[in-house]
Structure 1
């Protein structure tokens, strides 16, 4: 908490007053990280959506989870650390498991909007697999197990598989 106070240029007492505990500070930082990542992602994708190419928008949504730059690599590391802690911390889990699956819903809606889905494909199930798969592949990139080109080729492969 001292480091946060120093970085913010305020006293430790101010940080303690607003957050009450280190735990509350961590939970609020996670909420802020979610909001900031959402804002950045929307800004990067706004031009694609206006162009009307829903498949490009879908690909951009998925690519957004990958560590394409320093900010996204750090965000993936931080989210992973928070996620691990959320397995034993109900307050952290609440941030991750708030009942909404906004990204999965967005991906499913884009799949439906694109149309030409192969017979038997369920857009909601495809969205679940795509979102979780891309997140895992992003971690492989961080570990150096896969290249960004490999991961993007895998995403394209699965998008081609979904659409006829």
Structure 2
């Protein structure tokens, strides 16, 4: 085994090893797994780390499965196993990318925010020279004007319902930062520079009311309680109250 000559005994089976230490080394060598250029793993094995882009796409695919379940059945139905089945991957793959169900739900919410922001930026022309038109376009993002926005609104409603009984999720979902309210307040403040905004307004209070109102009106449209035309009329009324009518160009057709 090691190349050392082994004397042949007078009788019996000839020895294979020259010593006990040589025999021990051979045993350890047999127990060591053989190297393989591409060892196959079990079907549910966690994937090997890959390029960042591949990992991000897989995480987004799993998050999208959470969104679909939440929109159809609510977050209570979004178990790790149900998400894996919806995403078409094994449970081990979901557990590899997300440490826990809480981490999965939180990251899926963050990814939904990022996706909605990306789409909104594509739809809205950010023009602070027309603060009224910008504010009106931003508020319409809360309405189910197409399948994508209706879907997102259903998912957010599912998260809101779950946050009422899940303090950990509520801490994330009900963030104290309120970026949308701050943006709306900034738009109203910018409108005051050229004298377009009505005098005596508290920008932050107006922003809180507009964001909360637009969100609630969007849910009313989902429920069929109000029509889009009715909701747009309500938004126009409140935006006109904030900005003096006629001082900024109104957006085209509603």
TM > 0.5: yes
Match in the other structure for 1:67: 144
For residue 123 of structure 1, report the CA deviation from its aligned partner. 1.1
The DSSP-based 3-state class of the residue aligned with 2:126 is helix
The residue aligned with 1:147 is 227
Choose which of 108, 111, 116 in structure 2 pairs with 1:32.
111
Match of 2:202 among 101, 115, 122: 122
Q: Contact (CA 8 Å) 1:27, 1:91: kept in 2 or not?
A: no
Point out which structure has higher relative CO (alpha carbons under 8 A, 6+ apart): 1
Q: Note the residue ranges of structure 1 that are not aligned, 5 or more in a row.
A: none
**SS of 1:31 mapped into structure 2:** helix
Deviates more, 1:56-65 or 1:11-20: 11-20
1:77 counterpart (154, 166, 177): 154
CA distance in 1, matches of 2:242, 2:127: 23
Please list the CA deviations of residues 46-67 of structure 1 after superposition, one character each: whole Å capped at 9, or x if unmatched: xx22484221111111000000
Q: What displacement does 1:31 show?
A: 1.4
- TM-score, scaled to structure 1: 0.90
Corresponding position of 1:107: 184
Could you tell me how far 1:89 is from its partner in structure 2? 1.2
- TM-score, structure 2 length as denominator? 0.59
8 Å CA contact 2:221, 2:228 repeated in 1: yes
More helix by share: 1
1:9 Cα offset (Å): 4.6
Greater Rg by CA: 2
Long gaps (5+) in structure 2 = 1-79, 245-254
**Which whole-Å CA distance do the structure 1 matches of 2:132 and 2:234 have between them?**
15
Aligned residues: 162
* SS of equivalent to 1:49: coil
What per-residue deviation string (whole Å, max 9, x for no partner) do you get for residues 26-59 of structure 1?
22211111111111111211xx224842211111
Question: CA–CA distance in 2 between the matches of 1:138 and 1:44?
Answer: 18
Q: Note the aligned Cα RMSD (angstroms).
A: 1.8
Rounded Cα–Cα distance in structure 1 between residues aligned with 2:88 and 2:161? 30
- 8 Å CA contact 2:131–2:190 kept in 1: the answer is yes
Pairwise CA distance, 1:139: 0.7
- 1:157 lines up with 2:237 in the alignment: yes
